[in-house]
Structure formats: C-alpha cells, structure tokens
C-alpha cells in the first residue's frame, strides 16, 4: 500500500466509523492530529447531519487547510424535501480543499459490493443480509434512536441471511466475551442472528489514500 502523509489534513467523519479511524491513527497509518466526528446514526436526521457536518468542517478549517470527509454518498444523506440536494452538493459547497471519500456508505468503505456479495454467499447462502460495522453495535442507542420493537420487526426479519458485522478491528469477539447478554439481547431485538466477519482495513486505507492524493493535487 502506498505511503502517504495525512499530517496536513483534518478528517471529518461520521462517528459510526470512529472505531476504525482511531485504530488507524493508533497504528500510525492515519498521522493526522485532527479527527472530528459527528454523532453516529444521523442518516435518520439529515437536518442535524448537515448542521453537524458543516460545523465540524468549519472547525477543521481552523486547524488545517485540507479536509477529508468520511461519509457515504447516496445512502447516508437522502433529502426527500430537496431531492437534488445530495452529499456531493454539500461537500462542493465547502470549497475545493474539502474532499469526500468515494463510497456509498460505511459498510462500502470496509468491503466493496462485490466483496459483500461474496461474504453473503459464504455466510448466508446468498440470502438478503443486514450489513453493519462495529459502530452499529457500540453506538446502537444512537444509530437506532427512536426505533421500537415494532419498527425492528418491520425491517430486520426480511433479511433472512441475518446481520453481518464487517469487523476489521476484532470488536465483535471482544464484545461477545465481555457483554454476552447484551449481544444476545441485541440479536433478539433484531429478530435475526448477528455474525461478525473478520477482514482487513485495506479497502478503507486505499480509499483514504485516494482522497488524500486528490487533496494534495488540488
């Protein structure tokens, strides 16, 4: 993987991916001094998402000139009132020194669609899967804020392949060991089994490198 410095870049991200980004910072890959996070799960509240995202970008610009936004595109921000207003629009409004990672949502940052299809075939026989990353476990109360059992029953059971957590940081094994009752309760609330799938952060690193390179060449 290409070596690149993030020392002159601030990262603004959905808090759902704070686990992976802090892991990359700890291991030395992400050598930025400036990580800013919005509240996890704001795809359910796009007004607040937009407010927090722009506010974090403004704060980041006070530190450095280049901003890398870690947010998905069409699945993270859906504006029913203004369909032409997209995540791309918001990022473009922030100026030429703000670039967004090229992915549709957080799961896509960890595993591509082709990879997810392969995993679904391996673990679920190709059945429909509810995909998650570890942040969907850790920040459950925020990601599913306002969801009751009825809403859960409307959404999760149709995913006959269960829920698969794309886990590149070993989170699920630790969680199951340390909080087995909570894990079982979560699965019971969803009405489907939850499985962790170990993989690397190579795709995420590659996407971050691509975005950083774009910033450096502007």
Is there a single domain that holds both residue 47 and residue 152?
no
DSSP 170: S
Residue 86: inside a domain: yes
Q: For the ranges 2-11, 89-98, 134-143, which has the lowest average pLDDT?
A: 2-11
State the pLDDT at residue 218. 81
Is there a single domain that holds both residue 149 and residue 210?
no
Burial class, 10, CB count within 10 angstroms (exposed 0-12 / middle 13-18 / buried 19+)? buried
State the pLDDT at residue 180. 95
Bridge partners of 131, per DSSP, are 164
Question: pLDDT, tens digit, for every residue of 152-185?
Answer: 999 999 999 999 999 999 999 999 999 999 999 9
- Residue 65 sits in which domain range? 9-107+201-217
Residue 1: inside a domain: no
DSSP 42: G
Residue 187 has pLDDT above 60, yes or no: yes
State the pLDDT at residue 44. 85
State the pLDDT at residue 2. 58
Is there a single domain that holds both residue 37 and residue 145?
no
State the pLDDT at residue 74. 80
Residue 213: inside a domain: yes
Is there a single domain that holds both residue 192 and residue 207?
no
165-190 burial: b if 16+ Cβ within 10 Å, else e = bbbbbebbeebeeeeeeebeebbebb
Residue 186: inside a domain: yes
Is there a single domain that holds both residue 68 and residue 144?
no
SS3 of residue 129 by DSSP: coil
State the pLDDT at residue 206. 97
State the pLDDT at residue 58. 97
Is there a single domain that holds both residue 101 and residue 124?
no
Q: Are 198 and 111 in contact (CB under 8 A)?
A: no
Residue 84: inside a domain: yes
Is there a single domain that holds both residue 139 and residue 120?
yes
Half-sphere exposure of 131 (CA within 13 A, CB side): 18
- In the chain, the largest separation of any two C-alpha atoms, in whole Å, equals 50
Is there a single domain that holds both residue 22 and residue 130?
no
Is there a single domain that holds both residue 147 and residue 169?
yes
Bridge partners of 37, per DSSP, are 13
Instruction: Please state the domain count of the chain.
Output: 2
Residue 2: inside a domain: no
CATH assignment at residue 16: 3.40.50
Q: What pTM, to 2 d.p., does this model score?
A: 0.94
Question: pLDDT, tens digit, for every residue of 35-63?
Answer: 999 999 998 899 999 999 999 999 999 99
Residue 65: inside a domain: yes
Is there a single domain that holds both residue 116 and residue 85?
no
Is there a single domain that holds both residue 38 and residue 52?
yes
Minimal CA–CA distance to 192: which of 167, 171, 165, 161?
161
Q: Are 36 and 69 in contact (CB under 8 A)?
A: no
Both tokens assigned to 198? 């170990």
Question: pLDDT, tens digit, for every residue of 65-112?
Answer: 999 999 998 889 888 889 999 999 999 999 999 999 999 999 999 999
Residue 190: inside a domain: yes
Is there a single domain that holds both residue 89 and residue 163?
no
């Amino acid at each position: 993987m290409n070596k690149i410095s993030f020392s002159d870049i601030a990262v603004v991200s959905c808090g759902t991916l704070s686990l992976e980004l802090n892991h990359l910072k700890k291991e030395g890959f992400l050598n930025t001094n400036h990580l800013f996070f919005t509240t996890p799960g704001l795809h359910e509240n796009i007004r607040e998402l937009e407010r927090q995202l722009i506010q974090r970008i403004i704060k980041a610009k006070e530190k450095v000139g280049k901003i890398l936004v870690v947010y998905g595109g069409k699945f993270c921000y859906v504006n029913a009132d203004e369909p032409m207003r997209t995540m791309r629009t918001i990022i473009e409004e922030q100026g030429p020194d703000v670039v967004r990672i090229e992915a549709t949502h957080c799961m896509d940052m960890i595993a591509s669609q082709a990879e997810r299809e392969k995993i679904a075939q391996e673990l679920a026989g190709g059945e429909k899967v509810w995909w998650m990353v570890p942040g969907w476990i850790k920040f459950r109360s925020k990601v599913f804020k306002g969801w009751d059992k009825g809403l859960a029953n409307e959404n999760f059971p149709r995913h006959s392949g269960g829920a698969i957590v794309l886990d590149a940081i070993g989170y699920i094994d630790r969680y199951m060991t340390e909080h087995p009752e909570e894990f079982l309760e979560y699965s019971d609330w969803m009405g489907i089994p939850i499985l962790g799938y170990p993989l690397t952060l190579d795709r995420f690193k590659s996407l971050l490198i691509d975005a950083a390179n774009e910033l450096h060449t502007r």
